Amino acid sequence: MTTKGKPLRRTKAEQREGTLAQILDAAEYLFGQRGLYGVTLKDVASLANVHTSLLHYYFADKKAMFDAVFARRAGVTAERRSVALDEYMAGRTDPPTVEGVLRAYLDTDLDLYMTGGEGWRNYAALGAQVAMAPEWGAKLFDTHFDPVVLKMIGLLKQALPDCPEEDIFWGYHFVTGVLVQTLARTGRIDVLSDGLCRSDDFSAIKARMARFLAFGFEGICQDRAAERNRLTN
């Protein structure tokens, strides 16, 4: 942008914001590839093309940087999921369906990874790393995602009113496993299918994931209902 042919100079605040974004982008990529413990501050500084001392200006330590990287997009995806669930339920007079709830919850995220650029794909890999870190990863997910997860579970209870609550939670557990495997993009399915399927084909995943998982929820709950009937008759 220019004024009378002269480039506009960025303010110091804008410069700091741009530098911070540059650092977070570099850290996001590295943490997504190697995890928290496989990355040093020197690695981040090198990729971001800044001096290591500058990282200490923004972050107390490496874990604080990691938390900031995770939080930057976590709020976006959690809000988008929450809005999608609200929009799915808006004006409904009939109960929600399992597949409808899962599509609102899952497809919203998959859309980001398909259209949001490489930054969101790096964040997907980062999310898989966090999910596999029991010491501190669960706390990050609790902090950023519990409200929208519980909203989704509440809607699944409406969709499956006769299903034992424990099976709804087990179903969510399996949803998480499928999602983490998807976000990790390990390439395993690429090898097994001899290239027929690709782990980064989020469009193909979106077309199948929610429906596949919906059958799982419904199957478990139907089996439990049949078992209850057998015991009471």
CB contact set of 99 (below 8 Å; sequence gap of 6+): 210, 211, 214
Tell me what pLDDT residue 49 has. 94
Asked if 123 and 144 count as a contact pair (C-beta separation under 8 A), the reply is: no
Q: Evaluate the CA torsion angle 78, 30, 21, 61 in order and state its sign.
A: positive
Q: Evaluate the CA torsion angle 97, 204, 82, 178 in order and state its sign.
A: positive
Tell me what pLDDT residue 3 has. 52
Q: Which fold has domain 2-232?
A: Tetracycline Repressor; domain 2 (1.10.357)
DSSP 78-99: HHHHHHHHHHHHTT--SPPPHH
Two tokens at 137?
């990863």
The domain segmentation of the chain, as residue ranges, is 2-232
Tell me what pLDDT residue 14 has. 77
Q: What are phi and psi of 65, to 5 degrees?
A: -65, -45
Per-residue pLDDT of the chain (233 residues; tens, 9 = 90+): 455 565 567 787 778 888 999 999 999 999 999 999 999 999 999 999 999 999 999 999 999 999 999 999 999 999 999 999 999 999 999 999 999 999 999 999 899 999 999 999 999 999 998 988 888 888 999 999 999 999 999 999 999 999 999 999 999 999 999 999 999 999 999 999 999 999 999 999 999 999 999 999 999 988 887 777 777 77
Map residue 7 onto helix, strand or coil. Answer: strand
Distance between CA 151 and CA 141 in Å, rounded?
Answer: 15
Map residue 222 onto helix, strand or coil. Answer: helix
Return the residue matching tokens 């669960």.
138
Tell me what pLDDT residue 8 has. 60
Terminal CA-CA length for the chain: 77
Smallest Cα–Cα separation from 203: which of 139, 126, 131, 113?
A: 113
Q: Which amino acid, one-letter code, is at 86?
A: D
CB contact set of 71 (below 8 Å; sequence gap of 6+): 144
